[in-house]
Structure 1
Amino acid sequence: MEMSNHSMVKEFILLGFPIAPRWQILFATFLIGYLLVLAENSIIILIVWTNYNLHSPMYFFLTNLSFVEIWYVTVTLPKTMLSFVSVTKQISFMGCMTQLYFFLSLGNTEYLLLAVMAYDRYVAICKPFHYSTIMRHAVCVYLTMGSWLTGFLISGSKVYFISHLTYCGPNKINHYFCDISPLLNISCSDSSLAELVDFILALMVIMMPLCTVVTSYICIMFTLLKIPSSQGRQKAFSTCSSHLTVVILFYSTTLFTYTHPKVMYTYSANKLVSVLYTVVVPLLNPLIYCLRNKEVRFALRKTFTCTRHT
């Protein structure tokens, strides 16, 4: 990915959070959050791999989602925590664009994986007799690879146009990581083309998966209404309630941020919104799947019981 060499700015300063005088509390909060995200998602991957009864498409997609979130927080949080204990808050131009690329790529991949998981639930509930035929292992692999490749290709196009803008100062980014809106705000060249590309690609990577999710759950809802017993409806819905909760959390926080393009990061309060989808949502997702899914809870108890006995 070629970066522009026309920019006068060779490095940026991430203003981050006003850390004095309680930077220790912020540092500890981010550190604990980061370690919990790593631990929770690693446990999800471990219990799915080590429990044969979880070797199904739904949990195959779940492990990919957990893997995405491990790297999603790793792209931003270590640099953020380093800024709390370091006098210098600089990030090089290349470092900033690299961070932006991987942050967008992993976020795009998560959107697409959530859509794939919604489709999986649609097939499981609306076409149960054809589930094993439709959701073959090869199909699951192709859907997952497509999500990863599409997410990374789309973000590459965005970063290409943003990196070719001119940055002539000031070089201060009012955020704790490199994101699209704060970079557009400090560019001193015409950013209309970069904004248009970002808008079009955002529609593709956000709205199309969202339409897939909404359509899938509308079909699921009508299918559930046809089930005569309330116990049967509850049992069927329990298989997708965790995914639906995760979708609502992730989409609501990110849509709130990215529907206000260039002006979004004019105000420091919006950094708090970013904390929701960069830290809080990845922290809650594994808990939601563990607390609301009986199979995961059973596998978790089984894994740790075996570990204690050995």
Structure 2
Amino acid sequence: MITQILKLTSYAAVLIFIIGIAYRWWKWSSMPIHLRWELYPVPHEPGRAKYGGGYLEEELWWTKNRNTSVIGELKELLGEMLFIKRIYGNNKRLWALTYPFHLGIYLILVWFLLVLLGAVTTSYAHAPVPSSSTWSIFLYYATIVVGVTGALLATAGGFGLLIRRLINPILRDYTTILDYFNLIMVLLALVTGLASWFNDPYFNYARAFALSIINPLISPPHLNPVILVHIIALQALVAYIPFSKITHFIGKYFTYHRVLWEDEPGSSELSSRVGELMALKMPWNASHIKLGESWEENARVIANEG
């Protein structure tokens, strides 16, 4: 009975995750335009990014077509996501903890994919994992190696980050209760996951439960209390992620692509969007600001008085 309920709540957790992430994406993508920084280098400048150049250095640049590289941006984004280069360049001691933590999480995500592929292979290709096929054998051993490695790295890095936040006075001052709560939520799923692995070293129960998830006609297996607690903790984390700072993994696109690297030349569309913002009425006042006047009107008065 409990496993049947957990099967249904698994669908609910994933649905909440998808809807929550979609809402976050929509909310961030529909926000007003950011303050133009025009910082260089920008990786979509082919041939110029390596020395920090841009299209503005060209003579009569406004008469020429821009040549940009999506590959350059993807390489920079992936380099930052996979290796966390900026933290490495600025704080190697922190990187020594945050990198295994993130790498472990990436491996766990790969583990989830391998488990689901194993369930699909078993259910729809009628090739149980493990079996005599090369693909089945690969899934079996890859699941074990990737899952155990990811869980150990993420758990070690997560506890290291928690301890560092507690003992480092600078980090402690900037860490909120919610930051601790987020990290503890992740660690709870990781620790219970490791405990489940001790009870299921070859992930047989994990495969059986995944099989019941992708095939509604199959009943979930009977699970011991440790694995049940892990599934509950994992479902809670999945449903919670869209409403927490953990969504910074999608925020990186907006931080980089929409802020750091946004250097599109002025256009009628951009001017129109800026004009809309400048026409907004001020909801507050001060000695230099008039309540109810637009940004543009207030700026004009300040400029004239100056």
Give the TM-score category using the shorter length.
Answer: 0.3 to 0.5
From the CA coordinates, give the structure whose radius of gyration is larger.
2
